[in-house]
A and B are shown apart, each in its own frame.
Chain A
Amino acid sequence: MSRLRHVAVFQHEDELLGAVRESLPLGLDVVDAYSPYPIHGIDELMGIRRSRLTLVCFFGGLVGLSIGIGFQYWSSAVDWPLDVGGKPFDSLPAFVPVGFELTVLIGGLSTALMLLVWSRLWPGKRARAIAGVTDDRFALVIARRDASHSAAEMAEFLGRHGALEVWQEEAR
């Protein structure tokens, strides 16, 4: 059996949420939902896990801090100790500002980078956005797990929730 997917386009956020809510008990898989802005509460319904970007940010920041403090210490106390106004070579308090800035820099850049990597976004990527979802439409893609639902039943289900348009496509 080919994995047929149904795509439905809605006018309202609530209609899409209603369809998502009823899909699971019916044994339908919510493949993805598309919207012009983040819909609150859809994560739990679709079972999207909390993003692990927090870890990326934390460890990125930790790496930045270590590089910042480590390099400052190495270059001013190990590689070439220079006496500046009689201050100690390992003047750690003076290393705090640069250490902090590098924490933020590496933490922020790694977060942004992993956002793009995990979301598979890159400059010049060809978008396959469903028409209208970047404007004012909401789209839902669902698939059936088994043959318990006919294509017509699925279309009827989506139509009942207020879909403006429903079409089928092969899984890609």
Chain B
Amino acid sequence: MTVETRPLAPPSLIGGNKSNADVTRDVCAPLERKATALWWGTFLLSVSILLIGVVSVWYQIATGIGTWGLNRTVGWGFDITNFVFWVGIGHAGTLISAVLLLFRQKWRTSINRSAEAMTIFAVICAGLYPVIHMGRPWLAFWVFPYPNSRGPLWVNWRSALLWDVFAIGTYFTISLVFWYVGLVPDLATLRDRARGLRKRIYAFLSLGWDGSARTWSRYEMACILLASLATPLVVSVHSVVSTDFATSVVPGWHTTLLPPYFVIGAVFSGFAMVLMLMLIARRVMRFEDYVTPAHIGAMCKIIVFTGSIVGLAYATELFTAWYSGSEYEMFAFANRVRGPMAWAYAIMVLCNVATPQLLWSRRVRTSLAAVFVITILVNVGMWFERFVIIAGSLQRDYLPSAWSGYRPTLVEFGSLLGGFGLFFTLFLLFCRALPMIAMFEIKAVLGDHGQPEHAEQGSERVVV
């Protein structure tokens, strides 16, 4: 009997046996060829939807907030729902790029770049709605504490709405910096391949990157530091957004459950959006070897995990309402489940709790069509979750004499659509201008694939 040790290499994260040069070529290819008819088609469609939003917002600003279906009881409707929805969408990007970096989850390298881009675009969409909601957006700078001629009269630091300004502002800035720092080595790759004007633009943006080992050492440290800062930041952002509601006295809002509830919902909806976009992008841009069924499976597992926590949060809020013994609290939740907006509650539970459970099945996880449909449903469900919390709770508070309904107008539907138009327009432009996959990170993952230290861990004793 002989005992032989045979190295067992871990399964490759990237398909197609790629070399480093293949990675460069594959990822740069979509940027170096002419835009396809499909790209132009989707781009024009997105811009048209964006224009619907622009016209709606223009009309609303020119005429007044009265063009919306809001009233004295329901002061927040589609606008704030959209805001909370889009902030949530952004969270997956930071989670993938920062939290998964700290946990050394190497599969993130195929999706982190586009997820981070998505974060930035989603935060842009999110930031627009509160500004539009102000009614007089040209005075939006009043939210900042600047020395003014009225005293100076400072902002109210005790207001959760002001915390939002700082949370969203910091989140946008840090995400942008983190994304750009991550792009620099890849911009240098593009620079060294491009000619003419494109070369000059990429040369300007790549900051003179030359791949020196000293720079790489510092660079990696900076990335870890930025990730360590972004991790608590991402948790803080949606927690702060939830305090807009939790620090008020409206039944259904006034609860300590809201911060974790919002954060986990954000991760859930964000992952669904990333997965939806990656399913389209891998097909259109021929990235099947980079975003493999293993990546899709990993993301599906995160969706079913976070979806289950969202389900737990729904159950917890019902239990807490009952256990509180407060008649207003109990009524708020009975009204949420059975009241005039019971249909919206039903959509929310079906899409967010029931549908993702299908992902326990491997057959569903490996069916791209099924996963695609589930990701869309999750996003519909998460939009409705915010709508139920916001408009649903406001309709029925303490005084029955103040109760009213909320019927969104066409202008509000227009601005809802506009957000999606803006998001997809920005995303499509990103696909044409910047590498969608972090090339250097993929190369680093390929580089240690099958290296001695790696092979040792996975070595298998074979008894012959």
- A contact set with B: CB distance below 8 Å: 13, 32-40, 42-43, 46, 48, 50-51, 53-54, 57, 61, 71-72, 75-76, 79-80, 82, 84-85, 87, 91, 94-95, 97-98, 100-102, 104-105, 107-109, 111-112, 115-116, 118-131, 133-136
**Can you pick out 17 interface pairs between chain A and chain B where the beta carbons lie within 8 Å of each other?**
A38-B220, A38-B440, A80-B154, A97-B166, A97-B236, A101-B236, A101-B240, A107-B229, A108-B177, A108-B226, A108-B229, A109-B177, A111-B222, A119-B215, A121-B209, A130-B210, A135-B20
Residue among B19, B158, B207, B229 making CB contact with A104, cutoff 8 Å: B229
Query: Are A115 and B181 touching (Cβ within 8 A)?
Result: yes
Query: Are A51 and B221 touching (Cβ within 8 A)?
Result: yes
- Nearest-CB residue, chain A, relative to B215: A119
| CB of B156 closer than 8 Å to a CB of A | yes
Query: Are A101 and B167 touching (Cβ within 8 A)?
Result: yes
A-chain residues with CB within 8 Å of residue B19 when the two chains form the complex = 136
The 3 A-B residue pairs whose C-beta atoms are closest, nearest first, are: A125-B208, A136-B20, A121-B207
Chain B interface SS verdict (over half): helix
Minimum distance in angstroms from B67 CB to a CB of chain A: 32
| CB of B448 closer than 8 Å to a CB of A | yes
Q: Given the complex of chains A and B, what is the CA–CA distance between A127 and B192 in angstroms?
A: 10
- B contact set with A: CB distance below 8 Å: 19-21, 24, 145, 151-158, 162-163, 166-167, 169-170, 173-174, 177-178, 181, 184-185, 188-189, 191-193, 203-222, 225-226, 229-230, 232-233, 236, 240, 243, 439-441, 443-444, 447-448
Minimum distance in angstroms from B184 CB to a CB of chain A: 7
Query: Are B158 and A94 touching (Cβ within 8 A)?
Result: yes
- Nearest-CB residue, chain A, relative to B221: A51
Query: Are B212 and A112 touching (Cβ within 8 A)?
Result: no
Total contacts A to B, CB within 8 angstroms? 206
Known: A101-B166, A101-B236. A39 touches B185 (CB 8 A): no
Q: Given the complex of chains A and B, what is the CA–CA distance between A13 and B240 in angstroms?
A: 46
Q: Which of A72, A91, A102 has the most chain B CB atoms closer than 10 A to its own CB?
A: A72
Query: Are B174 and A104 touching (Cβ within 8 A)?
Result: yes
Residue among A50, A85, A134 making CB contact with B211, cutoff 8 Å: A134
**Apart from the given pairs A39-B447, A112-B181, A135-B20, 20 other A-B contacts in the complex at a CB distance below 8 Å:** A34-B211, A35-B216, A40-B448, A42-B213, A46-B214, A51-B218, A54-B221, A91-B158, A97-B243, A101-B167, A101-B170, A101-B236, A104-B170, A108-B174, A119-B212, A121-B209, A128-B208, A129-B192, A131-B192, A136-B19
A-chain residues with CB within 8 Å of residue B178 when the two chains form the complex = 108
Q: Given the complex of chains A and B, what is the CA–CA distance between A123 and B459 in angstroms?
A: 46
Query: Are A36 and B20 touching (Cβ within 8 A)?
Result: yes
Query: Are B210 and A36 touching (Cβ within 8 A)?
Result: no
Minimum distance in angstroms from A86 CB to a CB of chain B: 11
Query: Are A115 and B157 touching (Cβ within 8 A)?
Result: no
Query: Are B219 and A135 touching (Cβ within 8 A)?
Result: no
Query: Are A128 and B210 touching (Cβ within 8 A)?
Result: yes
Residue among A43, A121, A135 making CB contact with B189, cutoff 8 Å: A135
Q: Given the complex of chains A and B, what is the CA–CA distance between A91 and B163 in angstroms?
A: 14
Q: Given the complex of chains A and B, what is the CA–CA distance between A76 and B233 in angstroms?
A: 25
Query: Are B163 and A97 touching (Cβ within 8 A)?
Result: yes
Query: Are B207 and A116 touching (Cβ within 8 A)?
Result: yes
B-chain residues with CB within 8 Å of residue A108 when the two chains form the complex = 173-174, 177-178, 225-226, 229-230
Residue among A36, A72, A76, A100 making CB contact with B236, cutoff 8 Å: A100
Residue among A85, A100, A112, A133 making CB contact with B226, cutoff 8 Å: A112
Known: A97-B240, A135-B20. A119 touches B218 (CB 8 A): yes
Query: Are A33 and B212 touching (Cβ within 8 A)?
Result: yes
A-chain residues with CB within 8 Å of residue B167 when the two chains form the complex = 97, 101
Query: Are A80 and B152 touching (Cβ within 8 A)?
Result: yes
Known: A100-B236, A123-B205. A84 touches B211 (CB 8 A): no
Query: Are A127 and B206 touching (Cβ within 8 A)?
Result: yes
